[in-house]
Amino acid sequence: MKEDPIIASGAHFMSGNEACAEGALAAGCRFFAGYPITPSTEIAEHLAERLPEIGGIFIQMEDEMAALNAVLGATWGGFKGMTATSGPGFSLMMENIGLAVMTETPCVIVDVQRGGPSTGLATKVAQGDMMQAKWGSHGSYEIIALSPSSPQEFFWQTIKAFNLAEEFRTPVIILADEVVGHMSEKVIFPSPDRLVIKNRKLSRLTPAEYHPFQVNGNGIPEMVKAGDGYRIHVTGSTHDYRGYPFMTAEAQANLIPRLVNKIRDRKDELIDAEEKDCEGSEVVVCAYGITARTSYYAIEKARESGIRVGQLKLNVVWPFPEKVIKKWASQVKAIIVPELNMGQMVLEVERSAGGKCKVVSVPHPGGDIHRPEEILEAIKKSIK
């Protein structure tokens, strides 16, 4: 079989960050703008080497605000673009995540999470940006965020992130963490024919007929590229179907619910919560990212001691799988939520469980991962 010139199909041994970079290339990413920050830098370094040789563009910007904006500019030039960062840089990106949402600019933002707040634990793991990814930019909006728990998943999720960004015309965030970013494992790249790559819908209308934010049935307008004669106007201000700013409550009412609902209305097809041994269990451990893997051992030990434990692994964290949680909440005694923060996604689990079962937070300030015994302890305690 002919070798794919972009990614080398077959088995590799590589870090999560490198797998992410290769996944981006496989998805068609040809523009990366970034700013060095531990523990995400390897993504930029890898792409700085790989992009030029395949005709792509890499640029190291002066800060993360610039990095994301450069991605947005390149995206309107027709490229698929990505940036990668960690906590402090993610904070700086919030302003322009809002711009990407408002201008419906597809892009991928990778946050390899480390300990915070502030500079925090620059080199060590945490999962403290979960709520920031959802609420960090001002105003009302919906976001899509994925969370990988291995280099292999990081690879697949990066491709998925691009596909979702292109389909929904929205920024998609990958909430990875330092351990997943830096651990090296076997990563299998598929043969090119196994890859499903989606591209933004480009308008076939003439410039005279086309309006940049005119929506069709699914609430997602078709895009065009700068330089193709459409002479579009795109603004971060509240705008009408022509893209012109309108400072009225009516314009806001026409725009914001559409931006929110294009994701909310399709929540069911977006959510991805992996259920393992949940049927007939009395306890479910709900986790994501590296913590989902830490939980495996605790679950195994608990099962050995006779407790029926299942696992709910969140591959997509936003939109949150309320229905899935609700379903299991009415069937189990307790849902255990270990996470490398002082309790973030557990709030969503509690809200979704609606008091139908016990919800137990197993917080951890970050710096290292949970000891499986902590999770095991919580499982045992919850059924007493």
Partner 1 sequence: MTEEVLTQVHPLEPALRTERLPHIWCVGCGLGVALGAFASTILENKFDLDKLAVISGIGCTGRMAGYLKVDSFHTTHGRAIPFATGLHLAKPEMKVVVFSGDGDIFGIGGNHFIHAARRNLNITVICVNNFIYGMTGGQVAPTTPLGANTTTTALGNYEYSFNIPLLAAAAGATYVARWTVLDIIKLRKSIQEALNKKGFSLIEIISPCPTLYGRLNRMAAGVEMMKFLKEHSVFKKDAKLEDAAITDGNQIITGKFLDLEKPTYLEMYESSVGAKIKQMKYEKMLAEEESCQEC
Q: Residues in the site for partner 1, rule: CB under 8 A? A: 31, 33, 52-53, 57, 59, 61-63, 65-67, 69-79, 81, 95-96, 98-99, 225-237, 244-245
Hunting for tokens 């930019």 — which residue is that?
137
Least distance from C-beta 73 to partner 1, angstroms? 3
Strands 171-177 and 184-189, by their bridges, are unpaired
State the DSSP string of 70-104: HHHHHHHTT--EEEEE-HHHHHHHHHHHHHHHHTT
Least distance from C-beta 131 to partner 1, angstroms? 22
Which CB sits closer to partner 1, 223 or 345?
223
Query: What is the phi/psi pair of residue 305, to 5°?
Result: -85, 10
Find the distance separating the first CA and the last CA of the chain, reported in whole Å: 58
Which CB sits closer to partner 1, 70 or 144?
70
CA distance 77 to 34: 18
Least distance from C-beta 68 to partner 1, angstroms? 8
Least distance from C-beta 72 to partner 1, angstroms? 6
Structure tokens of 212?
Answer: 């940049």
Residues 274 and 315: beta-carbon distance below 8 Å: yes
Grouping H, G, I as helix, E, B as strand and the rest as coil, residue 107 is strand
Q: What sign results for the dihedral spanned by CA atoms 288, 289, 291, 293? A: positive
Nearest Cα to Cα of residue 31 among 76, 79, 100 = 79
Least distance from C-beta 225 to partner 1, angstroms? 8
Least distance from C-beta 30 to partner 1, angstroms? 9
CA distance 84 to 298: 32
Which CB sits closer to partner 1, 40 or 83?
83
Least distance from C-beta 234 to partner 1, angstroms? 5
Q: Report how far Cα 50 is from the mean position of its chain's Cα atoms.
A: 23
Q: What sign results for the dihedral spanned by CA atoms 294, 296, 301, 306? A: positive
In the DSSP assignment, the letter for residue 205 is S
Residues 113 and 86: beta-carbon distance below 8 Å: yes
Least distance from C-beta 191 to partner 1, angstroms? 21
Which CB sits closer to partner 1, 136 or 190?
136
Which CB sits closer to partner 1, 235 or 254?
235
Which CB sits closer to partner 1, 245 or 354?
245
Query: What is the phi/psi pair of residue 380, to 5°?
Result: -60, -45
